[in-house]
Amino acid sequence: MLGRENKTYLKYCKIPLRRAIRINTLKATVSECTQRLKDHGFILKPIPWTRHGFWIENKADIALGNTLEHFLGYFYVQEASSMIPPLVLDPKKYETILDTCAAPGSKTTQMAEMMENTGLIIANDSNMSRIKALRYNLDKSGIINTIVTRMDAAKLNKSHIQFDKILIDAPCSAEGTIRKDWKVLSRWSETLIHGLSRLQKHITTNAIHCLKPGGTMVYSTCTLAPEENEEVITNLLDKVKGLTVEKITLDGLKTRPGIEEWQGRQYTEQVKNCARIYPQDNDSEGFFVAKIKKE
């Protein structure tokens, strides 16, 4: 897929992932929290594409997760690429949002913060053990605009609720996360990819019916496999009419367009408006994001 650049990609895959945090402005201001972390000895570097995100450039005498600020929910440990889908969705105050695969809650809490704890978020997940983590993170972050549900994400359209915006951060093969966890490679297989692709297609084609006309749905994965990305978007546009893939731009973020062909399969030309995020481009995890508008 990357040709001669593959060596650079593999080089970055072997480099440990930079730690990143997102300041929770429901609990503290950016200046207050960053100063407190600096007082602990941490060196912070702003993440270019978000005002509330910072890379942690060093190890201090205290572990990041052991700080009082972490315990109080002043910040959330969240990878820099993971902050992108909520920024693309851009939830506003008083809107109604569906987060289909919400646990453990990094993007849910980020959206609630962006909405200033107003409106309504339905945070859904099908796994009870993951829901426990979701509930914990919502409570610690001071979130009061979110209802947690346990449903099969592919059956959410049966709720007959219409949402202003929908986030699908889909279960995936997680190829983009190997800088953080090499165990991903031990689970990886083409069989896994194809199975997840079927699930992702099922989730997207059902969830889109929960979206109001004129609404926006963001689909994201932390994998680079076209079968789980461009193929899923192509399937959605083939199955449901009146959808448009919008171009994604975030200041400070380098992205590449979606690919229109892979292993003999042709995808809709609209996938070129999707964003592919490679580890070497932003020194981050690999990610894929698509922004879909419904007529």
Query: Which of 294, 295, 241 lies closest to 268, judged by CA?
Result: 241
Q: Does 274 participate in catalysis according to the annotation?
A: no
Q: What's the pTM value of the predicted model, to 2 decimals? A: 0.97
Query: Looking at the domain 81-294, which fold is it?
Result: Rossmann fold (3.40.50)
pLDDT at position 175, please? 95
Residue 6: per-residue pLDDT? 95
DSSP state letters, 214-231: EEEEEEEES---GGGTHH
Q: Which CATH superfamily is domain 18-78 in?
A: Sun protein; domain 3 (3.30.70.1170)
Answer whether residue 97 shows pLDDT above 90. Answer: yes
The residue assigned the tokens 């049966």 is 158
Name the helix (H) or strand (E) containing 149.
Answer: strand 146-149
Mean per-residue pLDDT, 69-77: 97
Residues constituting the chain: 295
Q: How confident is the model at residue 7 (pLDDT cuts 50, 70, 90)?
A: very high
Residue bearing tokens 């890379």: 55
pLDDT tens string 133-164: 999 999 999 999 999 999 998 888 888 889 99
Q: How far apart are CA 117 and CA 101, in angstroms?
A: 20
Give the pLDDT band of residue 40 (cuts 50, 70, 90).
Answer: very high
Outline where DSSP puts E strands in 39-124. 44-46, 53-56, 75-77, 96-99, 120-124
Report the b/e string of 152-186 with b at 16+ CB within 10 A: ebbebeeeeeebbbbbbbbbbbbbbbbbbeeebee
Q: CA gyration radius for the chain?
A: 19
Distance between CA 237 and CA 242 in Å, rounded?
8
Q: Is the pLDDT of residue 62 over 90?
A: yes
Tokens of 180: 């953080």
Please compute, for residue 136, the number of CA atoms within 13 A of its CA located in the half-sphere on the CB side. Answer: 11
How large a percentage of the chain has pLDDT more than 90? 95
Contacts of 59 (CB under 8 A, 6+ apart): none
> What pLDDT sits at residue 156?
84
pLDDT of 147 reads 97
Q: Which of 33, 172, 210, 222 is catalytic?
A: 222
- Where along the chain do its domains lie? 18-78, 81-294
pLDDT, tens only, 167-194: 999 999 999 999 999 899 999 999 999 9
What are residue 276's phi and psi, to 5 degrees? -100, 130
Worst-scoring range by mean pLDDT, 10-24, 155-169, 194-208, 210-224? 155-169
Distance from C-alpha of 36 to C-alpha of 60, rounded to nearest angstrom: 13
Cis ω before 91 (30° cut-off from 0): no
Confidence of residue 27 (pLDDT cuts 50, 70, 90): very high
Amino acid at 73: G
- Work out the mean pLDDT of the chain and round it to a whole number: 96
